[in-house]
Amino acid sequence: MKHLLVVEDDLALGEGIRLALQSSELSPVLCQSLASARALLAGRPCQLIILDVNLPDGSGLDFLREIRRSSTVPVILLTANDLETDIVTGLESGADDYITKPFSLAVLRARVNAQLRKAVPTVRYEQAGFVFDFDRMEFRKNGVLVDLSKTEQKLLRLLVANRGAALTRAELVDRIWTDGAAYVDENALSVTMKRLRDKLEDAPAHPRFLKTIYGVGYTWAVK
């Protein structure tokens, strides 16, 4: 069962979205304010968020930036604003998709399913003495806890979820540094990778798992 969060202050619209998405595989919950959405997220992770931009107790865009400081959960923005600048602002703030009102519920369902197919599915991963529990944010190497920063966790999760495949530097930067920052130092990814290797690899200079694919990016090697 995948848990979805719908943040929409219009009760009729929010209930319509919730009922349209409810299925044997999807369990949407409606919150009509940012305060209730924060409380729900604090107690239970979800696999996708549908977020209205204009809410009675604050800006959905500010809430999105807040989410992106610690999570890569897919977020679809809902808004009545269809100007190009509004769309760009939403996407640059970390949104994965953007739907303007009014919209078809069938189109929304299709957009939700598309995002869920792309979402990082890995919650727990075990390999060669590593045990990574991304929900609990517990990472062990040979039984010993390893302390990882939020950025290191996001990088590791992306690589493990796509293990065996090369992820480009541009893609990793785009998906990790999504807090609305106007500028990301080009060395940020390299520095984060070095720290992750220092913590997880036996020989960081000759990594077995966190490998560089020259001219492309990085991969988590499947052993």
CA gap 215, 223 in Å, rounded: 22
Extents of the domains making up the chain: 2-118, 124-220
Q: What is the pLDDT of residue 71?
A: 73
The fold of the 2-118 domain, in CATH, is Rossmann fold (3.40.50)
pLDDT digits (tens, 9 = 90+) for 144-173: 999 999 899 989 988 888 778 788 888 888
DSSP state of 126: E
pLDDT digits (tens, 9 = 90+) for 53-96: 989 999 999 999 988 876 778 899 998 877 677 778 888 888 98
**Burial letters for 153-184: b for 16+ Cβ neighbours within 10 Å, e otherwise?**
bbbbbbbbbbeeebbebeebbebbbbebeeee
The fold of the 124-220 domain, in CATH, is Arc Repressor Mutant, subunit A (1.10.10)
Bridge pairing between strands 217-220 and 167-168 = antiparallel
Q: What is the pLDDT of residue 117?
A: 74
Per-residue CA distances from 109 to 1, 52, 73, 114, 170 (Å): 16, 16, 17, 9, 29
Instruction: Of 79-83, 106-110, 198-202, give the lowest mean pLDDT range.
Output: 79-83
Bridge pairing between strands 2-7 and 48-52 = parallel
When comparing pLDDT for 69 and 188, which is higher? 188
When comparing pLDDT for 47 and 60, which is higher? 60
Is the confidence at residue 118, as pLDDT, over 80? no
CA gap 22, 32 in Å, rounded: 18
Report residue 177 as tokens. Answer: 């540094």
